[in-house]
A = this chain, B = another copy of it.
Amino acid sequence: MSLDLAILGVLAEGELHGYDVKKRIADLPGAPLRTSFGALYPALGRLEGKGFVKVAEANQPKHRSLIPMPASLAGEAAIFGARKPKAGRGGRRKKIYAIADDGRSTLTSLLLDDVADDRSFPLQVAFCSNLAPADRLALFERRRAHLAERAARPTAIPEGIDYYLQALLVRHGNALTADLAWLDQLIQHEKAQLDPSDSSDQNPSQETDLS
């Protein structure tokens, strides 16, 4: 399920408490996933029960995790660490979750999963840096094949079609085309990484300008 993927994904790059997990997946750069606490906390509980996730600290976050954290997170982490809770004595509160080893392998398999679900692919991309380069390439190519097959199948209903349906159809087709081009760029990038012979394509460009 995609919520699990998102949770494991964000926890894979650093420990967080539930509240922050929600915030983080809510504004994942290109793949925002709105969810609710009513879904999140039970999910965290489930994942903990299955041993995919563990509670790192239940309180007194002295100031930071020992796990090295990628640069992308260092900023927020620093801020978070800065306003340290004065408390220490007393109760259970602010559970900080970390991904467990079983969680990492589960994450990998969720990332490789061939779910035709359009909603989860962006999440797979968002966290695909956790994959081995070859697996990543496979993921992209699988998706590309899937979309290509979709684009290929007969459009049907070219009859005296409604203006708005026609507009929708055009939009749909254009979106598909754009996605294919985008995937081609990603694929090209991966291949370049795997086989470093010719050098080109350093960053994803703003406009889909493949020839």
Chain A contact residues, CB within 8 Å of chain B: 27-31, 71-72, 75, 122, 125-126, 128-129, 155-157, 159-175, 178-179, 182, 185-186, 189, 203-208
Contacts and interface: CB of A to CB of B under 8 A. Distances in A.
A155 B159 CA distance: 42
A29 to B, nearest CB: 4
A4 B207 CA distance: 38
Contacts of A203: 163, 166
Q: Is the interface of A mostly helix, strand, loop or mixed?
A: helix
B168 A122 contact: yes
A168 B72 contact: no
A29 B176 CA distance: 13
15 contacts: A28-B165, A29-B157, A30-B165, A30-B167, A30-B170, A30-B171, A72-B160, A72-B165, A75-B159, A122-B168, A126-B164, A129-B163, A170-B182, A171-B178, A171-B182
Contact of A204 (B166, B205, B206): B166
Given A160-B72, A162-B129, A178-B175, A204 B29 contact: no
Contact of A125 (B71, B161, B167): B167
